[in-house]
A and B are shown apart, each in its own frame.
Chain A
Amino acid sequence: MTNHWIDLKNSDCIIVMGSNAAENHPMSFRWALRARDERSARIISVDPRFTRTSSLADIYAPLRSGTDIAFIGGMINYCLQNQLYNQEYVVEYTNAGHLISEDFSFSEGLFSGYDQTARKYDNASWAYQLDENGVPLEDKTLQNPHCVFQLLKNHFSRYDVDTVCKITGTPREKFLEVARTFCATGDPRKAGTIMYAMGWTQHTTGTQIIRAFAILQLLLGNIGIAGGGVNALRGEPNVQGSTDYALLFHLLPGYLKVPVDKDTSLQAYLDRCTPVSKDPKSVNYWKNYPKFMISLLKAWYGENATAENEFCFHLLPKASGNYSHMSIFQSMYQGKIKGLFCWGQNPAVSGPNALMEQKALEKLDWLVCTDIFETETSIFWKRPGANPGDIKTEVFLLPAASSSEKEGSISNSGRWAQWRYTCEQPQGEARSDLWIMNSLMLRLKRLYAQDPGPFPDPITRLSWNLGSADKPSAAVVAREINGYDLSSGRLLDNFTQCQDNGTTSCGNWLYSGSYTEAGNLMARRGKDDPTGMGLYPNWSWCWPLNRRIIYNRASCDTQGRPWDPDRAVIWWNEAMQQWEGDVPDYGKKVPPKNNAGAFIMKTEGHARLFGMDLADGPFPEHYEPYESPVDNILSSQQINPCVFLGYNTDLDKKGNQREFPIVATTYRITEHWQSGIETRWQPWLCELMPEMFVELSRELAKEKGISNGDLCTVASARGSIRAVAVVTARFRPFLVDNRVVHQIGLPWCYGYAGLATGDPANILTPNIGDPNTRIPEYKAFLCAIRKGV
């Protein structure tokens, strides 16, 4: 989240799209409802089905799964055509006025630079025009036909209301009501926010859906302000933390990049990753990249990391391919991966094309599952239909401590790192994740010392001092993350003290400042709220630098005056010559007249309406999902032209619209957690949502002869599952380009372990994903349904 949960109360308009916040983030709705009831905010729910969120919303608009970019593109067009944007914000804080290379073009769904064979873009033409000093050219009147604003306007002019509604199946008047209501927040004194989650990310166009709404928020001047922002509701209590700490294969902690095989030296790597700006005004904060990276290497390799050995840079693995979830399971299925640690994850239920993933597990020599309960993944060898005698995989199940049985930090969606304590000791042989990891590494170090093998250095030279095997300390880890001045041994005050010469260490620059000489700031529980805006600066600690709303420089006009004085986040105090309020996303003492750019993490200091670093285009464009019942009416490109189509084992099948004419989507429910494995052992929760079900419209039920409560079979090209029919008026057929398209919905929280069991919905979903992230397209695929099993 750019903002945080409490800040929802400051909004005038909350659109919930690509998420079902009332059901899956119930606590968020305490604040959303406060905005609705106390400041007459409007809540908008856009979803293929009428949900518990919709029941609390002022406006509900249905859309067919996978058509979000068309919908948002229509909103962008509505905003531009009716001039509802914040002119000063757009001109000064975004790259609207920047001139783009004259070689840039777009036609028939493709941007310039597309290579059909590689299914990739060469983005050379997606570049700024530069002056003789290398500074981007701007036209602040926004009239130049090559400026971003004109290109944007042109691109989205194709998203007129009729075209949009033909694609999405949304009733025209509902679409207009949403567009009108949300775009009213372009008034500088109004704030609009978006709450999204996996309903957006889990598409072959996921990244661009989010970008589309970010563009709209920038046009409306809604980023950086209280009650605004682009807010990703994270799906787990610490998933924000796990991303910050590089759970994903392409990242190192603090969103540093994983080295790749062409990074033949530390310098080559740093040159590749450190952006350079020739604009004297631009802060270009990522210019500090080498300081963060070298401090990270010092944290990891300690005294072994020296300037002479490139700070042990070559001990890091260098990537030569894609190691995302789907790629790992493909390799596993092909027998290329021999062992797997599955830590708090349950791919036998949660992975796409789950039958393939279950089968892939059979190819492993060994599997280690760490969880608080037996999971479907840990008992894949005795799953229904499997013969344990034929499966040779050795499986270890390590009992983990639950969240209340271990100490450490947890980062919520609002980027607050909150410290928590052990409230009771783990039961039986259960141990904390830290204990397990520490013991594992200490044993590995011992084994490598005894028998080094060809390349022991990554293990033996790793600095690892987290306490004894019995009692590793989370506080020691937290201090290593915060970082030290290695000459004095003092903890760093924050990341501005990081150096690129090996004199500082820092395990994650974003979290530097969280555990200083002043103590563990994550453990703070101060309830003071000096701005009255719910920022609570002394409650826990928030990255970066305890800044509660990021990009907050943009909450003020160019003079440093808040757009809305009643909702001031920061403001320039002329007498004191400094910014006040929240921790400014700008130099504390840098006056607004310096005009250093409100988005200091961007090389050009401006937020990007035109984004040149995406795999699939500088502007979002609507493409149909990988499996869709209709043709793309916007261009001849049916699907995202950059989607990786190389997952093609014998179990990867694509469904056609004749055999599988119905659109399906998956979702979570309030009563079960993720794959359900933590909740389906809990009888009180099982009785609330006891069985796998499928939600369908009365119209479809009638067509198929299905009655409420009937057991049905739902099939896709990948497999079929059993589910109880929930026939409901909350699902309605869509009228898509004058054709009736049915849609059904499936929760994905059931499996064959636990007390309440059922078929995993992911048996149906395809192995296909977004080209930027490879997040699978769980949210739109084709299926068929019939009564009976």
Chain B
Amino acid sequence: MSMKRIGLLMDTSRCLACRACQVACKQWNKLPAEPKESWKTRGSYENPADLSPVTWTRVRFTEYEQHGGGVEWLFRKLQCMQCQDATCLKVCPEKKALYRNQDGLVVLDSAYCTGCGYCTQNCPFEIPRFDAKERRTFKCNMCYDRIANGLIPACAKACPAQAIQFGPRNELIEKAHQRIQALKGKGFPEASLYGENECGGLGVIYILKYGRSKYEGLPADPKVPLSVKLWKDWLKPVGLASFLGGLGFVVFHYVLHGPKIIEKGGD
């Protein structure tokens, strides 16, 4: 499958932050706007405030002051990263709800979601979002339905700057390395690739103009949580009963991570 793996390449050096991707995502996936009460300007262009069951992708705006007084405005679109080593797949108890489809995409079919919340709590990128009213979780599925019908994802289609490119992952990686070399020659010595090896290799890879630490909300070293590894790759295979496994997971997770605190975004 790795030969044929498909992906998205996000070239942050081309992103205009026009957010046509955010709108196209809502249009294709028939997602409503966030409730009107939440329409607030929070001292930034960034909006809505966070991902949610009805907002599956969002552009982060980060102001970054360089040495010498110059300012940079960094844009990065966030959505499901399509991990090869996908935590959500490991923890989901319902095989019909979260699965890898024939195109190798990690798909969450919310119709089958039981609302256990494991994927939400363990995703290293904090992507799936739980709808408390519907008791179900939602996330970007890289428009698997479009792809299955020979179309490219809605965000890539809408992007006027070709900052979002869809294609075979190995080709995208090759392209990305060339682009990074070019950026390094044009005054961006820290230009780097994100996603080539993280979490077994992400389906969504980023060309970053600067080091990854400059981008808000981008984990430096994303991993499947150790608790999940112990539970799914170690405890379960050695044959513990699923009940104990579940209990074990909760205990291990709490011991290793403590209670889940989602850090506030914004700048």
Q: Which residues of A contact B (CB under 8 A)?
A: 22-23, 26-27, 29-30, 33, 37, 40, 50, 52, 54-56, 58, 60, 670-671, 683-691, 693, 707-709, 724-730, 755-756
Contact = CB atoms under 8 A, between A and B. Distances in A.
Contact of A33 (B26, B48, B74, B161): B161
Listed residue (A52, A685, A726, A755) with the most chain B CB atoms within 10 angstroms of its CB? A52
Contact of B39 (A56, A693, A756): A756
Contact of B19 (A30, A33, A671, A755): A671
B63 A23 contact: no
B22 interface: yes
Contacts of A730: 63, 71, 73
A729 B71 contact: yes
B71 A23 contact: no
B226 to A, nearest CB: 37
A691 B161 contact: no
A50 B71 contact: yes
B65 interface: yes
A726 B266 CA distance: 12
A27 B179 CA distance: 21
Contacts of A709: 41-43
B55 to A, nearest CB: 8
Interface stretch (B28-36, B81-89, B96-104, B235-243): B28-36
A23 B18 CA distance: 6
A686 B20 contact: no
Contacts of B34: 687
B43 A727 contact: yes
Given A687-B34, A726-B43, 13 more contacts: A22-B16, A23-B16, A37-B179, A54-B73, A58-B186, A58-B187, A683-B36, A686-B33, A686-B39, A687-B48, A688-B22, A688-B48, A726-B41
Contacts of A689: 41, 45, 47
Interface in B7-25: 13-14, 16-20, 22-23
Given A23-B18, A688-B47, A709-B41, A30 B63 contact: no
Contact of B16 (A29, A707, A726): A29
B128 to A, nearest CB: 20
B40 interface: yes
Interface string B51-78: 0000000000001010000111111000
20 contacts: A26-B160, A26-B161, A29-B161, A33-B14, A40-B186, A56-B16, A670-B17, A670-B18, A671-B19, A683-B36, A684-B26, A686-B33, A688-B19, A688-B23, A688-B48, A693-B41, A724-B41, A725-B43, A726-B45, A756-B39
B218 interface: no
Interface residues of B, number: 40
Contacts of B32: 683
Contacts of A687: 33-34, 38-39, 47-48
Contacts, number: 106
Contacts of B71: 50, 729-730
Contacts of B19: 670-671, 688
A755 B182 CA distance: 45
A726 B43 CA distance: 4
Contact of A684 (B27, B41, B182): B27
Contacts of B182: 37
A671 B47 CA distance: 11
A27 B20 CA distance: 11
A48 to B, nearest CB: 13
Contacts of A688: 19, 22-23, 47-48
A26 B47 contact: no
A684 B73 contact: no
B160 A29 contact: yes
Nearest to A707: B43
Contacts of A684: 22-23, 26-27, 33
* Main SS class of interface, B: loop
A784 B33 CA distance: 35
A683 B16 contact: no
Q: Which 6 A-B pairs have the closest CB atoms?
A: A708-B43, A690-B39, A683-B33, A709-B43, A55-B73, A691-B41
B181 interface: no
Contacts of B70: 60
Contacts of A58: 186-187
B43 A55 contact: no
Interface string B181-219: 010001100000000000000000000000000000000
A353 B45 CA distance: 27
A26 B16 contact: yes
Interface string B152-185: 0000000011100000000000000001001000
Nearest to B72: A55
Contact of B162 (A30, A40, A54): A30
B161 A52 contact: no
B44 interface: yes
A40 B187 CA distance: 12
Contacts of A724: 40-41, 43
Nearest to B63: A729
B53 to A, nearest CB: 14
B178 to A, nearest CB: 10
B18 A55 contact: no
Listed residue (B22, B45, B47, B74) with the most chain A CB atoms within 10 angstroms of its CB? B45
A49 B53 CA distance: 35
B36 A755 contact: yes
A466 B47 CA distance: 48
Contacts of B36: 683, 686, 755
A60 B71 CA distance: 10
B20 A26 contact: yes
B189 to A, nearest CB: 15
A689 B47 CA distance: 7
B160 A691 contact: no
Nearest to B70: A60
Contacts of A726: 41, 43-45
Contacts of A691: 39-41
Nearest to B31: A684
Listed residue (B23, B27, B73, B162) with the most chain A CB atoms within 10 angstroms of its CB? B73
B161 to A, nearest CB: 5
A361 to B, nearest CB: 28
Contacts of A729: 63, 65, 71
Nearest to B44: A726
A543 to B, nearest CB: 25
A30 B45 contact: no
Contacts of A54: 73
A52 B75 CA distance: 9
Contacts of B65: 729
B120 to A, nearest CB: 22
Nearest to A53: B16
A33 B161 CA distance: 8
A284 B186 CA distance: 47
Nearest to B179: A37
Listed residue (B17, B34, B161) with the most chain A CB atoms within 10 angstroms of its CB? B161
Nearest to B185: A40
Contacts of A756: 39
Contacts of A693: 41
B113 to A, nearest CB: 24
A40 B23 CA distance: 31
A725 B23 CA distance: 25
B263 to A, nearest CB: 17
A433 B45 CA distance: 36
A54 B16 CA distance: 10
Contacts of B23: 684-685, 688
Contacts of A55: 17, 72-75
A691 to B, nearest CB: 4
Listed residue (A56, A671, A685, A687) with the most chain B CB atoms within 10 angstroms of its CB? A687
